[in-house]
Amino acid sequence: METIAKLSILADAAKYDASCASSGVKGRNSLGGKGMGSSEGMGICHSYAPDGRCISLLKILLTNFCIYDCRYCINRKSSNVQRARFTAAEVVALTLDFYRRNCIEGLFLSSGIIQSSDYTMEQLVEVARSLREDHDFRGYIHLKTIPDAAPELLALAGRYADRLSINIELPTPEGLQQLAPEKNAKQIQSAMGDVARHIQLAKQEGRSQAASSIISLPGSQRVRRARPPRYAPGGQSTQMIVGADDASDAAILLTSSGLYGGHGLRRVYYSAFSPIPDASADLPLQAPPLLREHRLYQADWLMRFYGFAHQEIVLPGSGGMLDLELDPKLAWALAHRQHFPMNLNRAPKEWLLRVPGLGVRSVQRLLMARRGRSLRLADLQQLRIATAKVLAFVELADYHPRRADLESPLLRQQLLQRMSHGVVQQKHSGMRLPDMGLSAKTSQLSLFD
């Protein structure tokens, strides 16, 4: 089979993985090197598909042959999809060619399981090794890791890759048992733990080395210590399929929160279960719940950047599900009106972050500006934010909402109406805020960081 035919099959087979991030690696370039590639911290989306998703990496499978039979997967053993297999050399050549054209930031390589987990993992690692060692490629490499592969292979993978990921697949062990009987939730968790330990260790070594310096004799050449071996500097991520089983949003966020806290994950991706050709009869027949996926990303954001705990976000009486009509921060505020209106001149940062419509950057600007003077309505307008939402919940030097309005049972409806005329809510993916100006300390906020 020709490369182009294989590419068509193996890119199609890989497109259900949501992650395309190319961030988290700072200050690497090819000056002084023999090859090409750089990574400057902020990921770059080189194109966008009509599904709104960013194309940052060449996202392909090494092969879509697979010995497993996971129900939700297009590549499962029992699917009659057309099969193909790349050689390591083909993947290397494709990556370098697309990179040279400036079409991608690097490679995201995954694979169906062939022969054994170890054999498959060896093939993946070989591609990464060849790119790094044979071609001095300094672009981004993300490797999907196979949970039960040998620890030595995992160690090697982290040396070549910028990011490793192991998919948790489903929010609960029961869901996994039901839809992916050959996979094992304990094993997945334990492999994530191993990767997390490796990452932690590499970080510590890097820090302790930076703290101690070598003292050279006067007149002698300055000596530098060898760098400690790197290990997935872009961290670890995972993906959960939403809507293929009956797990609630509360269960999903509980799992995510455990992953962020327990294994220090950089990102949990939520992938609305997508209809696939030749689907298994065990799966729901429906279009993917894209809005639900969007709300989960917003909730995830609240946990990571806004100081919300997972159990706060899903409201009591909601049956464990997020409100589809309102974003979760607004829904939370409507259910907790006793805390509002928030006085923008006096409230501490953690409370400003809870005001619907105020983002991390806006909060920073407000905090800075109020050091010099007291904030007025006109200042809020300078921020170009969704004032329709904000004004219901805040108080300024020259603006005081009426208590009765805030307590009115009609507020929810009014807000929905106002917002439908205002700013478009659906910022689904790839939103990127160039880091500049006053926000030197904030990190990049992007759904696909």
Partner 1 sequence: MDTNPESSSAVSRDFLVIELAQPDDFDGFRQAARVLLALNAEPHAVRWRFCQPLAQQMPTQDLFAADEAGSVVGRALTPDALDQLPLPPTQPLRLGKSQLSTLRLACCHNLAGRFALCYRWLHRLQSDHRLRLDALDSDWREIERLAKAAGREIHKMHAFVRFRPVPGTEADGQAMQIAWFEPEHHVLRAASGFFRRRFPNMRWAILTPQCSVYWDLEQLLLAPGSTADQAPEPDAGEQLWLTYYRSTFNPARLKEQAMQREMPRKYWKNLPEAVLISELVAGARGRTQRMLQT
Q: Which of 19, 24, 37, 88 binds partner 1 (CB under 8 A)?
A: 37
Q: How far is the CB of 98 from partner 1 (least distance, A)?
A: 6
Output the CA–CA distances (angstroms, integers) from residue 257 to 231, 265, 270, 316, 384, in the order listed.
Answer: 24, 10, 13, 18, 32
Q: Which of 4, 211, 214, 410 binds partner 1 (CB under 8 A)?
A: 4
Q: Which of 251, 290, 291, 321 binds partner 1 (CB under 8 A)?
A: 290
Q: Which among 43-51, 152-160, 216-224, 396-404 is the span making contact with partner 1, rule CB under 8 A?
A: 43-51
- The whole-angstrom separation of Cα 84 and Cα 16 is 17
- The whole-angstrom separation of Cα 21 and Cα 15 is 14
- Residues in contact with partner 1, counted by CB under 8 A, come to a total of 80
Give residues with Cβ within 8 angstroms of 411, minimum separation 6: 334, 337, 392, 405
Question: 294-313: which residues touch partner 1 (CB under 8 A)?
Answer: none
Q: Which of 81, 150, 279, 388 binds partner 1 (CB under 8 A)?
A: 279
By CB under 8 A, residue 318 contacts partner 1: no
Q: How far is the CB of 379 from partner 1 (least distance, A)?
A: 4
Question: 150-189: which residues touch partner 1 (CB under 8 A)?
Answer: none
DSSP character string of 234-281: T-EEEEEEESSS---HHHHHHHHHHHHHHH--SEEEEEE----TT--T
Q: Which of 24, 70, 95, 98 binds partner 1 (CB under 8 A)?
A: 98
Question: 362-391: which residues touch partner 1 (CB under 8 A)?
Answer: 364-366, 368-369, 371-373, 375, 379, 382-383
54 or 124: whose CB is closer to partner 1?
54
Question: 193-232: which residues touch partner 1 (CB under 8 A)?
Answer: none
CA atoms within 13 A on the CB side of 16: 21
Give residues with Cβ within 8 angstroms of 393, minimum separation 6: 333, 340, 341, 342, 355, 356, 357, 401, 406
100 or 339: whose CB is closer to partner 1?
100
- The whole-angstrom separation of Cα 31 and Cα 226 is 19
By CB under 8 A, residue 404 contacts partner 1: no
By CB under 8 A, residue 45 contacts partner 1: yes
Burial class, 360, CB count within 10 angstroms (exposed 0-12 / middle 13-18 / buried 19+): middle
51 or 246: whose CB is closer to partner 1?
51
Window 55-94: contact mask with partner 1 (x via CB under 8 A): x--xx----------------------------------x
By CB under 8 A, residue 281 contacts partner 1: no
Q: Which of 29, 187, 417, 420 binds partner 1 (CB under 8 A)?
A: 29
- The whole-angstrom separation of Cα 381 and Cα 379 is 5
